[in-house]
Amino acid sequence: MYGAAPEPPAEHEAAESPGRRGHGGATRYIVAAIVIVAALAYFMYRPGPTLSFAEDAAWSKSWNDSVRLSQSTRKPALVLYTADWCPACRWFESNVLVRGDVRGYMESRYTPIMVDLTKPDSPNQAFARQYKIDVIPTLILYNAEGRELSRTNVLPPEQLLAWLRSDGRKTQ
């Protein structure tokens, strides 16, 4: 009386049916987009390592005290603009600034000043705007009278030493 039950469609027919076409691809794109957004949020907002070289070395975080020290010792100022969230800054710290030869030369000849731009609402942001810091890390070399001589960004250790020894005139 009742006929035989209809057979289910073959697998290739199910994949080709109009109601299912493109569904899997869209889901994959949505999942991929969510993963990318989550990864970006994690890497942008996670706390990075602190700028530990500032505590270990003679880098001062007080602008006014450092300027007075530079004037009284007649040592030129070397100002580093940096941030914890900046990968290039962390690389510069861990591969260049902590090296004994670089650190020893800087500390013996300059008054090192660190301007930490980690927090967007920090008063240090005003210094960054005033001195037109567009990229970090940025190093600015001043003479003993406080006049800017030169500025640079990330350099390998040998080039940084050459830059410092030439009072900012060369990087080779």
* Domain with residues 52-165, CATH architecture: 3-Layer(aba) Sandwich (3.40)
* Tens-digit pLDDT profile for residues 123-170: 889 888 988 999 999 999 988 888 899 999 889 999 999 999 987 776
List all residues 6 or more positions away from 38 whose beta carbon is below 8 Å from its beta carbon: none
Percent of the chain at pLDDT above 70? 67
Report the DSSP pairing between strands 77-82 and 148-152: unpaired
Determine the average pLDDT of the residues in 90-99.
90
Q: pLDDT value at position 25?
A: 73
Tokens of 106: 């800087």
* Tens-digit pLDDT profile for residues 49-62: 344 444 455 676 76
CB burial of residue 69 (10 Å; 0-12, 13-18, 19+): middle
List all residues 6 or more positions away from 140 whose beta carbon is below 8 Å from its beta carbon: 78, 79, 81, 131, 148, 150, 151
* Tens-digit pLDDT profile for residues 5-50: 556 555 555 444 454 555 667 888 888 778 777 665 555 554 443 4
Between residues 117 and 37, which one has the greater pLDDT?
Answer: 117
Determine the average pLDDT of the residues in 58-67.
68
Q: pLDDT value at position 51?
A: 43
Inform me whether the pLDDT recorded for 87 exceeds 90. Answer: yes
